[in-house]
Structure 1
């Protein structure tokens, strides 16, 4: 599997996903194409190489003018950075986003500033986001539905990762587009991994979000990072609860033992287990970011 490859989702007719090659890393960022009466995409990647999304649409015979909806799970720029570029290329597509994130796709200046602080030198893999015209933004709140004609999606608020996050439930094939609420599915290692970036990570709310998805009882989990998850959805969701609790406990323990937050960050970066999958730079940079998110959570609680 490599950047630009498009794959159908087994058990979900009409849904495929493209590997966007996010961060110059294969099997990290996926954007989903929904071939419906009103065609849609779920998330947009960073905006870098957004043409790969247009190519994925073309594989389904969907022309840019045919796209009707860009569904953003949240406005972090690895999910929403390409929204403005797609809006320009697809003039009939509205951009659906939770009401708390809508202003940031219209005016992304503060979002860019916060992203640069969070991702550090990973910013080299982003492009400056293009604003989305305000009259093309559709604000969502918990329980709102998106009518795509031949299928309907329901937005469920999942604010543990960030207050403007939703997951989309596709009733036609009993699938949930998980955003970052169910963690990162590392396909090459057949496991789920934590995601806890600053500044909004909240352990208890993240656990509540996982429980919410479990109550939906989906047959398929569609991860933004990366691709469809394992067949036993309940088991992997239960596993993610343990991953989150263990991760936060481990960060707290290392800070206490090393008497230094900086030393704890360096320790986790040096011992990350995904270098063989994502490469050293991405693996270490993401690990550091996730540790910083937990530290902010712990310090805020304290």
Structure 2
């Protein structure tokens, strides 16, 4: 699938995914278009390629009534304000802990700039959303889309404000980043551990939540859908644990966090460089390493065992 194109999710009804050409990497950014009786957009992209999303919605004849970013990180919620402006009758949802960042994105932008470094060039300043347009979520809700419903599950491991959605009709889970990043070219799920609130045990608990739902399909926020297999979440839990341990050991060896970050960037996996491009792969390693180092500091400060 080429950037700006959309395709149906296999085995699902009136559900499409769109490649937003995030970070200039083909298929890295996935936005889901659910053409229900009350149509929904699930995740919104960064916002810099919003014309792709607008064109796809026009082509499908969709007027969204729901705008559903899974969490406030700007690669998932950056386009929400632009969508809300274009569709003034739509309701935007967000976990209650992050509503303020949609209303006033100032601190969110500052934190994102610090987290993504030179990748900020791919972002745009998000549009604020009036608070009365936003429905806060806490987990446990069911969103009414007319001919179907979405169950909301709080999944705070990757970020405290993350939720995932389960469409029981098609038995699909929209995973946000709770299931990691699936790379279809490699048929592997890779870790995502960004600062500042990555939590290993929380991420593993979120993987258990998805395992317990036991859906037919996972709709990842990056690289599109995947058929669910029983072993997927167990493998992802191991991937996370091994990644955190690798960073912990390298910190013990080098004794300097900048050197640890540089090490993992320099040794970014060759297969992800091939798929994502060298720049994105190395920047991803930097960000994920910073997230683990912050997590290790938090655990040490609070006397907790990793």
Tell me the TM-score normalised to structure 2 length.
Answer: 0.95
Q: What RMSD in Å do the two structures reach over aligned CA positions?
A: 0.9
The equivalent residue for 2:54 is 54
Residue 260 of structure 1, CA deviation: 2.1
User: What pairs with 1:96-175 in structure 2 (closer than 5 Å)?
Assistant: 96-175=93-172
Q: Number of paired residues?
A: 298
Decide which of 243, 246, 253 is 1:257's aligned counterpart. 253
Residue 58 of structure 1, CA deviation: 2.2
> How far apart, in 1, do the equivalents of 2:29 and 2:299 lie?
31
The equivalent residue for 2:291 is 293
Q: Is the 8 A contact 2:71 2:163 kept in 1?
A: yes
> How far apart, in 1, do the equivalents of 2:229 and 2:145 lie?
25
Query: Aligned with 1:233: secondary structure?
Result: coil
> How far apart, in 1, do the equivalents of 2:253 and 2:206 lie?
31
Residue 2 of structure 1, CA deviation: 2.1
Q: Is the 8 A contact 2:172 2:216 kept in 1?
A: yes
Query: Aligned with 1:38: secondary structure?
Result: coil
Query: Aligned with 1:28: secondary structure?
Result: coil
Which is further off, 89-98 or 150-159?
89-98
> How far apart, in 2, do the equivalents of 1:156 and 1:218 lie?
14
Decide which of 233, 248, 267 is 1:237's aligned counterpart. 233
Q: Is the 8 A contact 1:178 1:224 kept in 2?
A: yes
The equivalent residue for 2:23 is 23
Gaps of 5+ in 1: none
> How far apart, in 1, do the equivalents of 2:67 and 2:229 lie?
26
Gaps of 5+ in 2: 301-306
Residue 234 of structure 1, CA deviation: 2.0
Q: Is the 8 A contact 2:265 2:285 kept in 1?
A: yes
Q: Quick check: 1:284 aligned with 2:282?
A: yes
**1:64-123: CA deviation from partner (whole Å, max 9, x where unpaired):** xx2101011000011001111011111221101111111110111110011011011111
> How far apart, in 2, do the equivalents of 1:297 and 1:148 lie?
38
Query: Aligned with 1:85: secondary structure?
Result: helix
The equivalent residue for 2:242 is 246
Q: Is the 8 A contact 1:147 1:153 kept in 2?
A: yes
Which is further off, 231-240 or 88-97?
231-240
